[in-house]
Structure 1
Amino acid sequence: MAIKHLRTAFASQYQPGQPARLRSGEPLQEPGGDYEALHKQMKRLFNSKPGKKYGRFSDALADSPFSAWLKDYLEDKQTFAALTDRLFGQWQELLSGCQEEFDGHLMVVHEALADQEVVYLILLETDGAMRFDGDQRLDSTDVLSLSRLNLALRVELDDWLGDQGGDNYLTLVHGRGTGEPGELFIRLCGFNNSVDVEKETLTFLDAVEAFAKSSAPEKAGEVRTRAYEFCKEQHALGEPVEIEALSSYLDEEQPQRFKEFASQNAELPDTGVLHPDHRKVKKLVRIAGSGGGLSLSFSSDLVNQAVYYDRDKDALTITRLPKALREQLQRYLESRET
């Protein structure tokens, strides 16, 4: 089984200023079955979540002792039950000072994969549902949401405790609208942001664009497309972009060509790893914009083939219209004429 240990706790804060309530479940070892299925779905949501942050544990252990507790557990100085008791206790304490109402299930998972071990902290959300009870009376209930994930942390244990060390062994999902509970979750995790995703996105885009322009004209579009595909695949796996792996993907015959070009023309991190935002990387293959009642999006390969831009007149000419768009225009004009 992939899951070595798992435990959940339900915490609620319905009256700000009053102590939060917490009910914890029993620690489970290799729970299998439905727990594996639930965790698999949460990982799928985690990997696909845009705007993730990357970092390391805070050095302020007095405020965020989770890293010290986790290390003691991994070194067999305390059990998983003791680790989660401490973690759940701190979560209850943090929520007791929260000025916003909150409820949710905190799930802690220690997962052992073939090539690595990871620990997840996941805030499970709930959705309302209707059902008939045993007397056929309509009743409302709460069920776990399998489509929403706004607060979660992943710890890459090998990267954290390995000889290489590093500053990017934590991955955080911190969705918008999580308010004060979201900030408290970050404190619970002891997360310290160490990666400027926006800067690394620009570095990635500039390096790929410069490499594409240096390639033969007929190959430039292929370079951009393959770079975007590689980035998208890594995002689906929840993994960053390794420059060496990308270089091999872009040119199998000369696998070091892009890596050497990028190292000379871009400020790459010493790790050789970038964390680009896959949503912005899409600019490599698509041109899009909206405003003033107009919204346009088309493949960059169509520029000067089916889409022509006149800089002097600031005008765009589009040929080879999509069939559906052409039919809509014709119907609209016919209705106006009648």
Structure 2
Amino acid sequence: MSVDVFQLTIHYLALDEQQAPQIRERQALIPTNAQVCHLLEQLHLSYNGKPAKGYARFSSDKSPLMQESMELWLQQPDDFMQLAKTATAELVKQLTEHQLAESGYLLISHYRYLATDYLLLCLLGSKEHFSVTAELDLAAAKHLDIARMQLAARIDLTEYQLNREHPHAISFIRGRAGRKVADFFLDFLGCEEGSDAKENSKQMLSSVEEYLSAAEFDPAEKSQVRQQVYQYCEEQSKQGQDVVLKELSEAMDPDDQHGFLHYCAEQQLAVAEQFPVEVKSLKPLVKFSGAGAGVSVSFEQKHLGERVVYDPQQDILTIRGVPPNLKDQLQRFLTGSSQ
């Protein structure tokens, strides 16, 4: 297993009749075993898969409480429960001030994944499920709803200890509530927003297209380069790693590994040397999509000119080989209409 869990504790956050948060604290660490490691691996992968993340650094203009508590813990690793207690109290305070009515299990853990240490803080809901016993009786139990993790923050301790001012060592899930959740996490952690994954990804996408237009690639080669860029960025995102410009350049063209890197420098393109990526923003590299006037169309770029043909003069899109499920719907509808 690729996860090593060093310290873990879980508290329970409930709401009273006035919707005020109440905490039931665990008084000791949870013993580490294979089951715990498997849980953290699932949480790590689920967190990496969340598309809407913000990035931040500790700020002198915000409360220093969380940073000070974390620094004390880094000096005295055995005092993890004090860090968890401070984080829990600050979470309750900020939830109250931001008027967020949230309940669930607050999980705080120090773990290592592929040689990188992390501090994860997440609030997980629970979901009831049913099972059948050996005697064929029904039994009900609750499980942590990892898939719907919405309130979570993670600190890359390895990056943070190398550079306290790293612009994206701290990340958080923005969640469905958008700006309100972002403000909550920034205040909770005592941070200011740093690197913008979405903007960095868009800038990189624009620079790749500019490079492809200037380079002597034929259409097939351009399509292959776009695929390689997307695959590299997607893999980095899955691993929770940043895109590194030098590595991206190497992935784009094995015959000229520094071509894109040198082009960015020569043209003074505003592409960061290292940045978190939002894969969703890179979909135009490999897919065409659009919607309007009641019509929605989406297809992979590799099909253009083969299964999908566009006539710009007549503004007609021809699709050969209609997807089976769509074809079935159309045939059923036409049959029903004729009858």
| TM-score above 0.5 | yes
Instruction: Determine the C-alpha separation between the residues in 2 that align with 1:311 and 1:216.
Output: 23
2:263 aligned residue: 261
Instruction: Determine the C-alpha separation between the residues in 1 that align with 2:114 and 2:200.
Output: 29
Tell me the amino acid that sits aligned with residue 192 of structure 2.
N
With over 3 angstroms needed to count, the CA separation of the structure-2 counterparts of 1:224 and 1:179, relative to structure 1, is: closer
Tell me the amino acid that sits aligned with residue 256 of structure 1.
H
1:42 aligned residue: 43
Cα shift at 1:200 = 1.1
The worse-fitting range, judged by mean Cα deviation, of 181-190 and 229-238 is: 181-190
Tell me the amino acid that sits aligned with residue 279 of structure 2.
H
CA contact (8 A) 1:3 1:30 kept: no
Cα shift at 1:334 = 4.5
1:200 aligned residue: 200
Residue deviations 1:13-67, cap 9 Å, x none? 233375x321111332761222111111111100111111112122235x35111
2:296 aligned residue: 295
Instruction: Determine the C-alpha separation between the residues in 2 that align with 1:334 and 1:153.
Output: 53
2:34 aligned residue: 33
CA contact (8 A) 2:288 2:301 kept: yes
CA contact (8 A) 1:56 1:169 kept: yes
Cα shift at 1:179 = 9.1
The worse-fitting range, judged by mean Cα deviation, of 232-241 and 135-144 is: 135-144
CA contact (8 A) 2:153 2:185 kept: no
Instruction: Determine the C-alpha separation between the residues in 1 that align with 2:98 and 2:47.
Output: 25
Cα shift at 1:165 = 4.5
CA contact (8 A) 2:54 2:182 kept: no
Spell out the pairing of 1:110-125 with structure 2 (5 A cutoff).
Answer: 110-113=110-113, 115-125=115-125
With over 3 angstroms needed to count, the CA separation of the structure-2 counterparts of 1:255 and 1:58, relative to structure 1, is: same
Tell me the amino acid that sits aligned with residue 204 of structure 1.
M
Instruction: Determine the C-alpha separation between the residues in 2 that align with 1:323 and 1:106.
Output: 45
1:162 aligned residue: 162
Which secondary structure state, in structure 1, belongs to the residue aligned with residue 148 of structure 2? coil
2:54 aligned residue: 53
Spell out the pairing of 1:179-194 with structure 2 (5 A cutoff).
Answer: 183-194=183-194
2:281 aligned residue: 280
2:243 aligned residue: 241
CA contact (8 A) 1:6 1:107 kept: yes
Tell me the amino acid that sits aligned with residue 90 of structure 1.
E
With over 3 angstroms needed to count, the CA separation of the structure-2 counterparts of 1:30 and 1:2, relative to structure 1, is: farther
- Is 1:317 aligned to 2:318, yes or no? yes
Cα shift at 1:238 = 1.6
Cα shift at 1:137 = 8.9
Instruction: Determine the C-alpha separation between the residues in 1 that align with 2:91 and 2:252.
Output: 46
With over 3 angstroms needed to count, the CA separation of the structure-2 counterparts of 1:303 and 1:137, relative to structure 1, is: closer
With over 3 angstroms needed to count, the CA separation of the structure-2 counterparts of 1:327 and 1:76, relative to structure 1, is: closer
The worse-fitting range, judged by mean Cα deviation, of 160-169 and 116-125 is: 160-169
Instruction: Determine the C-alpha separation between the residues in 2 that align with 1:114 and 1:298.
Output: 35
Cα shift at 1:185 = 4.4
CA contact (8 A) 1:17 1:99 kept: no
Which secondary structure state, in structure 1, belongs to the residue aligned with residue 94 of structure 2? helix
Among all aligned residue pairs of Structure 1 and Structure 2, give the percentage whose two residues are the same amino acid. 22
CA contact (8 A) 2:186 2:193 kept: no
CA contact (8 A) 2:174 2:181 kept: no
Residue deviations 1:261-297, cap 9 Å, x none? 233342122xx01333211211111101123332211
CA contact (8 A) 2:154 2:171 kept: yes
Tell me the amino acid that sits aligned with residue 316 of structure 2.
A
Instruction: Determine the C-alpha separation between the residues in 1 that align with 2:326 and 2:131.
Output: 44
2:254 aligned residue: 252
Cα shift at 1:236 = 1.2
The worse-fitting range, judged by mean Cα deviation, of 158-167 and 37-46 is: 158-167
Equivalent residue pairs, number: 333
> Pairwise CA RMSD of aligned residues?
3.1
Cα shift at 1:163 = 5.2
Tell me the amino acid that sits aligned with residue 253 of structure 1.
D
Tell me the amino acid that sits aligned with residue 48 of structure 1.
G
Cα shift at 1:102 = 2.6
2:84 aligned residue: 84
Cα shift at 1:308 = 3.2
- Is 1:230 aligned to 2:232, yes or no? yes
Residue deviations 1:140-174, cap 9 Å, x none? 65321132211211111222121585221112112
CA contact (8 A) 1:168 1:195 kept: yes
Instruction: Determine the C-alpha separation between the residues in 2 that align with 1:36 and 1:149.
Output: 18
